[in-house]
Amino acid sequence: MNEQMMQSIPLSTRIRLARNLKEYPFPAKLSAEEKQLVNETVRDALLDGDDAGNYRYIEMKDLSSTEAVSLAEKHLISPEFASSADGRALILSNDETVSIMLCEEDHVRIQVIEPGLSLDKAWEKANALDEKLAARLTVAFDEKLGYLTQCPTNLGTALRASVMLHLPALSRAGLMPRLSSTIAKLGLTLRGTYGEGSKIVGELYQLSNQVTLGISEQAAIQNLAAIARQIMEQETAARETLRTDNVFIDRIYRANGILQSAYMLTCSECTDLLSLVRLGAALGILDVPLDTLTKLLTAIQPATLSVQEGRVLPAAQRDVLRAQKVKEALQNA
């Protein structure tokens, strides 16, 4: 199996731990003032001495909705968290690999993102923050149930681990529905992402664990890693069959040509074209760094574009700016 091709498939790894403080009701039952108290208590526990300079503490009410949506586009917060600022705060590391949502569904949601398939590293970072939290505050925990969370589906480890996978060859072969249903039987989910509404764009899929009860964190993570690797092997094999398909090679070349020439690009079309070019780069058909393409997949998102530009852009202007940014990035690459 072509290891280099394998490693081009995972874009990023996320670990999320849900935690609640024992002495407070869940956020849904808290007033705005009580939420603020919880947020600041957690902030003071986590951001002491050494760490203080590496993180920002952000009250969500201080962000414009565009800024909040941009954070969701980067997967630093949940879309739900972006949708309302009410009593919510965010601890964000300067390198944007660690984001801690305060008073979302639970008091604390520690999230770590790492590039590629990097479950162990992400887990270590999340676990270190969790240990610091537990050392300073009393976390709601039950000997039988494990960590207590607002939603019963998170009870136990309260761990959600996920890997974002680029699966264009399996998608094109029409294999995703069957694969998703097989994965579901193994207690994981595999679903399309970056979609507007229910449309899967960019052939990007998120593989995540579902079971949090009766399984250790390590076992859940190992399980996820093993299944991610199996999917990556299947995708790699499916990609090999595309190498000799001239119609497909033509589509990849054209996608690259359109990205380098279009005057306007919608987010959805741009994502689909980037997906094709990323596949072409992974196959060695095009000479474009994978990293440039992976970054563009986030940078071209609507709110992120507006934040970069420093003002809220109407859709038509955004489409023109998106085309410019993509052109520049590809020409500089």
Q: Which is nearer to its own copies, 54 or 241 (CB)?
A: 241
CB of 319 to its own copies, least distance (A): 9
Residue bearing tokens 């992976």: 294
CB of 324 to its own copies, least distance (A): 11
CB of 111 to its own copies, least distance (A): 38
Q: Which two tokens stand for residue 285?
A: 């058909």
Q: Which is nearer to its own copies, 45 or 258 (CB)?
A: 258
Is 315 within 8 Å of 301 (Cβ atoms)?
Answer: no
Query: How many angstroms separate the CA atoms of 94 and 25, rounded?
Result: 30
What's the helix, strand, coil split of the chain in %, to 5?
50, 20, 30
CB of 288 to its own copies, least distance (A): 12
Q: Which is nearer to its own copies, 4 or 261 (CB)?
A: 261
Q: How far apart are the first and last CA of the chain?
A: 28
Q: Which two tokens stand for residue 126?
A: 């999340």
Q: Which two tokens stand for residue 163?
A: 């890997």
Nearest CA-CA partner of 157 in 68, 95, 223, 67: 223
Nearest CA-CA partner of 101 in 113, 93, 111, 114: 111
H or E stretch covering 205: strand 204-209
Q: Which region holds residue 12: left if phi is over 0, alpha if psi is between -120 and 50, else beta?
A: beta
Q: Which is nearer to its own copies, 118 or 256 (CB)?
A: 256
CB of 286 to its own copies, least distance (A): 10
CB of 325 to its own copies, least distance (A): 15
Q: Which is nearer to its own copies, 17 or 323 (CB)?
A: 323
* Chain residues that interact with its own copies, rule: CB under 8 A: 246-247, 249-250, 252-254, 256-264, 316, 320, 323
Query: How many angstroms separate the CA atoms of 259 and 185, rounded?
Result: 39
Q: Which is nearer to its own copies, 140 or 252 (CB)?
A: 252
CB of 8 to its own copies, least distance (A): 21
Partners of residue 18 on adjacent β-strands: 109
Q: Which is nearer to its own copies, 152 or 257 (CB)?
A: 257
